[in-house]
C-alpha cells in the first residue's frame, strides 16, 4: 500500500513544472488520496480539507533533500512556496512508478486533470475540495442549498459560482457526475 511520502512524491513527480502553493499541494494530494485510497487524515480547515500528515510529509521530504522548496513574495505581500523534485526525489519517483504503478498513474491523472481544467488555480482547487468534502460527508446526493448550509458549519462561504467551478473539476476527476 502506498504511503503518504510516496503519494506526495508521485504528485510532484507527475507535474511538468513546480507546484505553486501549499494549498495547491494539499488539494491535489487530497484528490489523489481519494483516487488511490491512501488515507492521510484530511479534516475541515479554512481553505478546505487539510492534512497535517501531508504538511509534515512535505516538510520532511524538503528537509531530507527529496524535494526543493522555493519562496517568493506575491503582489499582495504574501509568500508563495513552490515545490519540485530534487535529483534524489526524481530517483525515488522512478522506484515508486515501478513498484506502485497503478497508484502512481492515478495520482498522475489527478495532477494532469487539475492542471488541464483549472490550471492549478488554488481558489478553484479549494472550492472543489470543499464541495467534495461536503458531498462525502452526506453520503448521497446533495443540493446546492445543502452544500452552502453545510459549508457554513465549517466556516466556508461558498457562492454558486464557486460551487460550479469546483463541480466542473470534480466531474473532470470522476468524483462527481453531471445530472
pLDDT tens-digit readout, 92-125 = 999 999 999 999 999 999 999 999 999 999 999 9
135-139 contacts, C-beta under 8 A, 24 or more apart: 135/170, 135/175, 135/176
Task: Calculate mean pLDDT across residues 44-70.
Answer: 97
Predicted confidence (pLDDT) per residue in 142-161, tens digit: 778 888 888 999 999 999 99
Mean residue pLDDT of the chain comes to 94
Task: Please say if the pLDDT value at position 168 is more than 70.
Answer: yes
Sheet with 79-85, side-by-side order of all strands: 19-20, 79-85, 67-73
CA dist., res. 120 & res. 33, Å (int): 17
Confirm whether pTM is higher than 0.85.
Answer: yes
Task: Please say if the pLDDT value at position 140 is more than 70.
Answer: no
Quote the pLDDT of residue 138: 72
Quote the pLDDT of residue 143: 79
- Confidence tier at 178 by pLDDT (50, 70, 90): confident
The length of the chain in residues reads 179
Contacts of 168 (CB under 8 A, 6+ apart): 117, 118
Amino acid at each position: 500500500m502506498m504511503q503518504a511520502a510516496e503519494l506526495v512524491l508521485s504528485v510532484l513527480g507527475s507535474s511538468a513544472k513546480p507546484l505553486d502553493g501549499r494549498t495547491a499541494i494539499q488539494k491535489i494530494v487530497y484528490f489523489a488520496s481519494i483516487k488511490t485510497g491512501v488515507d492521510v487524515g484530511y479534516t475541515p480547515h479554512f481553505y478546505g480539507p487539510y492534512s497535517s500528515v501531508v504538511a509534515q510529509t512535505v516538510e520532511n521530504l524538503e528537509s531530507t533533500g527529496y524535494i526543493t522548496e522555493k519562496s517568493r513574495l506575491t503582489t499582495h505581500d504574501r509568500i508563495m512556496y513552490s515545490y519540485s523534485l530534487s535529483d534524489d526525489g526524481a530517483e525515488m519517483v522512478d522506484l515508486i512508478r515501478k513498484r506502485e504503478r497503478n497508484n502512481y498513474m492515478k495520482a498522475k491523472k489527478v495532477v494532469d486533470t487539475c492542471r488541464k481544467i483549472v490550471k492549478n488555480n488554488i481558489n478553484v482547487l479549494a472550492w472543489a475540495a470543499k464541495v467534495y468534502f461536503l458531498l462525502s460527508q452526506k453520503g448521497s446526493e446533495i443540493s446546492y442549498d445543502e452544500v452552502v448550509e453545510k459549508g457554513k458549519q465549517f466556516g466556508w462561504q461558498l457562492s454558486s459560482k464557486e460551487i460550479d467551478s469546483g463541480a466542473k473539476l470534480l466531474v473532470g476527476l470522476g468524483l462527481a457526475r453531471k445530472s
